[in-house]
Amino acid sequence: MSSSTDSLPPALAKIVQRFQRASDPKRRYEQLIWYAQKLPEFPEADKIPENKVPGCVSQVYVTATLDDGKVKFQGDSDSQLTKGLVALLIEGLNGSSPTEIVHLAPDFIQATGLNVSLTPSRANGFYNIFKTMQKKALECKLEQ
């Protein structure tokens, strides 16, 4: 199964492997809650329509800045599980270049096993959060 993680940024590959070891859906949810609790505070001032993730049932916000050629994401959600998904993606993608993020295929989502643990609307939300982060990374790249 590790071949699917070879092309991922190292931090994201580590997260995928961590979730692969958690075969129990309850354990995966616990990991998501753990990620949610680790997520730094999101500035209220950034909770604006431009930063809202479209297509999510929960309120989800993501920002991206470029620091020395590397993307730094921040995010938040009003749902603990969704916040965990945001946190997982932030931890996995922070420090990558905009090009790496834009060219990343979303199939790592299946490799985590979360797509079978999550409800269809949450799995779709996870994908929408990822696509929004790719869009924000591209915007950072274009502003260089």
Residues classed as catalytic: 56
In degrees, to the nearest 5, what angle opens at C-alpha 129 toward C-alphas 128 and 134?
95
Nearest to 89 by CA among 121, 54, 131, 48: 131
Contact 78, 59 (CB under 8 A): yes
**Tally of CB atoms within 10 A around 106:** 12
Q: 10-21 vs 80-93: helix axis angle to the nearest 10?
A: 140
